[in-house]
Amino acid sequence: MISSQKFWDKMAPRYARSKIRDEAGYQKKLAKTQEYFRPDWRVLEFGCGTGTTALIHAPHVAHILATDVSGNMIEIARGKAQAAGIENVRFERGTLEELPLEPESFDAVLGLNILHLLEDVDGTMERVHGLLKPGGIFVSSTAVMADVPWYWRMLIPVAQLVGLAPYLAKLSREDLVMKMTHVGFTIDHEWKQGAMAVFLVVRKAG
Ligand SMILES: C[S@@+](CC[C@H](N)C(=O)[O-])C[C@H]1O[C@@H](n2cnc3c(N)ncnc32)[C@H](O)[C@@H]1O
Question: Which CATH number does the domain housing residue 133 bear?
Answer: 3.40.50.150
Asked if 29 and 199 count as a contact pair (C-beta separation under 8 A), the reply is yes
Please answer whether residues 200 and 187 qualify as being in contact, where contact means their C-beta atoms are separated by less than 8 angstroms.
yes
- Alpha carbons 91 and 68: distance in angstroms, whole number: 8
| pLDDT at 4 (0 to 100) | 86
pLDDT in tens, 168-182: 888 999 999 999 999
Q: What is the pLDDT of residue 170?
A: 85
Nearest CA to ligand 1 atom 19: 95
What is the spatial distance between Cα 101 and Cα 114, in angstroms, rounded to a whole number? Answer: 19
Mutate to test the pocket of ligand 1, among 23, 29, 48, 114 (most ligand atoms within 8 A of CB): 114
Q: Which residues of the chain have pLDDT under 70?
A: 1-2, 147
The three-class DSSP label of residue 134 is strand
Q: Are strands 42-46 and 106-112 parallel, antiparallel or unpaired?
A: parallel
51 pocket-lining for ligand 1 (C-beta < 6 Å): no
8 Å CB contact between 192 and 139: no
What is the total count of domains within the chain? 1
197 lines ligand 1 (CB under 6 A): no
End-to-end CA, the chain: 41
Q: Residue 148's pLDDT is what?
A: 72
Say if ligand 1 is within 6 A of residue 88 CB: no
Task: Determine the structural domain holding residue 96 and report its residue range.
Answer: 4-204
202 lines ligand 1 (CB under 6 A): no
In the prediction, which pLDDT does 47 show? 98
pLDDT for 114 equals 97
Pocket test for ligand 1, best of 117, 164, 168 (most atoms within 8 A of CB): 117
Q: Which long-range contacts (CB under 8 A, 24 or more apart) does 19-27 make?
A: 22/193, 22/194, 25/193, 25/194
93 C-alpha to center of ligand 1: Å? 11
Q: What is the DSSP letter of 20?
A: P
Q: Are strands 185-193 and 197-204 parallel, antiparallel or unpaired?
A: antiparallel
Q: How far is the CA of 169 from the centre of ligand 1 (A)?
A: 14
Residue 37 pLDDT: 98
User: What pLDDT score was predicted for residue 160?
Assistant: 79
Q: Is the CB of 198 under 6 A from ligand 1?
A: no
- Indicate which atom in ligand 1 lies nearest the CA of residue 45: 6
Q: What's residue 2's pLDDT?
A: 61
Contact 118 CB / ligand 1 (< 6 Å): yes
